[in-house]
Amino acid sequence: MRFKKTLVGAATLGLLSITSIAWADYDGPSVNIRLAHTAPPGNHITGAYQKFADLVAEKSDNKIQVKVYPNAVLGSDRALVEGAQKGTMNIGVSSTPNLANFSGKFQVFDLPYITSPDKQDQLYESINPGGELYEYFEGVSNEIGLQPIMYAEYGYRNFVSADKPLTSADDLAGLKMRTTDSPVEVDVAKALGTNPAPIAWGEVYTALQQGTIDAQGNTFPHLAGAKHHEALKYAITSAHNYGMQVAMANKDWWDSLDPQVQDIINEAALEAVTYQREVLYPENEEAARKVFEEVGITIHEATPEEIERFKELTKPVFDKYSAELPDELVQMVLDTQK
């Protein structure tokens, strides 16, 4: 279930050089852009959006500048997207679960096991510009005053525990499981026999130390970045949920931009997210695993048969929430997994 680290392919490098040459004589307007996200320093999400800012400057001969505000300095995911809607923020970044607060259709990505790590290339193809999912969610976003700019990787969440060994889905039964307020996540926790405890992210470390919770589900890079490994002993690569960190621009502001500026932003976004997926995320994942191993956390690599047990237990949750979403949207995501 591990992502394999790969180098940026020749095609990607060719794209980088071609677009750089194409914009060497940029003569469009100067624009200053504010972009804010919640990821901390050193995280692959932070690296992706800084790469985006660097590429925008490079392609425009420094006439277009993106000022990046990381680490939630301008507020939470929800606050940043609300700012983008109102026009007080050019581009706000939010996780896909939090985007469900703005349109329930984003909840499709919360469904347990609707995607899997071994089918990522197909998912990327659909969510990249020109793909079916991209066009679908562009329409959804436009209806609520937003324009998608970049679907940055968040990654696959895995279950971890403070004291109990995890070698199967059944091992989670009885644990006090931290969740977000997401109804899907709470119901997944119940389906696995745990006792869900919705707790704000900033309070999770203390809750682990004090025994208020025994377990949680998140990406290894996110856990290591928050130093949660200091209070953990076991992990299983359940890969039960996939998320993205989506950059959303104010739609009116976007429409007011010169077409040359839009083109540069779109090109930079695709190159930056490709670099993140192929280089930054795998590097961050490997670094997090190394930290886990150094502190003695036992990582159980779930077998295909063990993943099937997770799917079996959480299938009622999938069925319940997929029934609340448009059939064509659910099918569109499932089609990327063939």
Band (pLDDT 50/70/90 cuts) for residue 25 is: confident
Name the residue range of residue 99's domain: 12-154+244-286
pLDDT (tens digit per residue) in 200-249:
888 999 999 999 999 999 999 999 999 999 999 999 999 999 999 999 99
Query: Do 176 and 323 lie in a common domain?
Result: yes
**Do 269 and 204 share a structural domain?**
no
Q: Where are the alpha helices (DSSP H) in the chain?
A: 10-22, 44-59, 77-86, 96-99, 120-127, 132-143, 183-191, 204-210, 220-225, 251-256, 259-275, 281-294, 304-322, 327-335
Residue 234 lies in a domain: yes
47 and 187 in a single domain? The answer is: no
Closest CA to 310 of 123, 178, 173: 173
Are 139 and 40 part of one and the same domain? yes
Residue 280 placed within a domain: yes
pTM, entire model: 0.89
Q: Per-residue pLDDT for 180 more than 90?
A: no
Q: Which CA distances in Å does 12 have to 184, 261, 277?
A: 36, 21, 12
Statement to judge: residues 47 and 183 lie in one domain: no
Same domain, 174 and 49: no
- Is the same domain home to 303 and 175? yes
Q: Is 55 helix (H, G, I), strand (E, B) or coil?
A: helix
CA 96 to each of CA 105, 228, 244, 245, 259: distance values in angstroms, whole numbers, following the listed order? 10, 22, 6, 6, 28
Q: Is residue 34 part of a domain?
A: yes
CATH number for the domain harbouring residue 138:
3.40.190.170
As a whole number of angstroms, the distance between CA 327 and CA 320 comes to: 13
| C-alpha–C-alpha distance, residues 270 and 275, integer Å | 9
Q: Look at 74-78, 111-115, 150-154, 324-328 and tell me which has the smallest mean pLDDT.
A: 74-78
| Residues 161/214, Cβ–Cβ less than 8 Å | yes
Taking the C-alpha atoms of residue 206 and residue 2, their distance in angstroms, rounded to an integer, is: 29
In this prediction, residues 272-290 reach a mean pLDDT of 97
The residue-averaged pLDDT of 289-316 equals 98
